[in-house]
């Protein structure tokens, strides 16, 4: 029976270093300081999320259903995963805030308080 590799310390949650590698076939052993892959450094929650995200082919609605979490939670976990893999996440304006601003522009347009061209310009500036 093989044990699943642990990538983080169960005590302090720091990344673990691989210090010994062995070949089952020929019996050779290598000792030193080895680095695991980026995915090995993920905590259990991040690894589970990555597996579900890939299984769902990146479809956020399917991830929501599978994990029983909301859209903002899926986005938050995805951002956390991206950062844990060593990539920078560009934070966009909060989705709720952006939706409220779009609604205000469309309401102003509907009331005749601005022209369609002005509304288009304002909506494009929000992107």
pLDDT in tens, 44-98: 899 999 999 999 999 999 999 999 999 889 999 999 999 999 999 887 656 677 7
CA terminus-to-terminus distance, the chain = 52
Query: Environment class of residue 20 by beta-carbon count within 10 Å: exposed (0-12), middle (13-18) or buried (19+)?
Result: exposed
Three-class SS of residue 88?
Answer: coil
Q: How sure is the predictor about 127, in pLDDT bands with cuts at 50, 70 and 90?
A: low
- Do residues 58 and 74 make contact, with C-beta atoms less than 8 angstroms apart? no
Q: How sure is the predictor about 102, in pLDDT bands with cuts at 50, 70 and 90?
A: confident
Helix extents (H) in the chain: 44-55, 60-67, 71-84, 95-110, 116-126
């Amino acid at each position: 029976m093989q044990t699943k590799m642990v990538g983080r310390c169960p005590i302090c949650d720091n990344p673990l270093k691989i210090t010994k590698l062995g070949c089952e076939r020929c019996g050779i052993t290598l000792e030193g300081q080895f680095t695991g892959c980026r995915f090995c450094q993920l905590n259990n929650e991040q690894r589970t999320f990555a597996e579900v995200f890939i299984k769902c082919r990146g479809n956020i609605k399917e991830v929501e259903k599978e994990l029983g979490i909301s859209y903002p939670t899926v986005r938050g976990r995805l951002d956390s995963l991206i950062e844990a893999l060593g990539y920078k996440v560009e934070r966009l304006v909060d989705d709720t805030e952006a939706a409220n601003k779009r609604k205000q522009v469309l309401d102003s347009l509907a009331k005749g308080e601005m022209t369609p061209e002005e509304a288009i310009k304002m909506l494009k500036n929000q992107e």
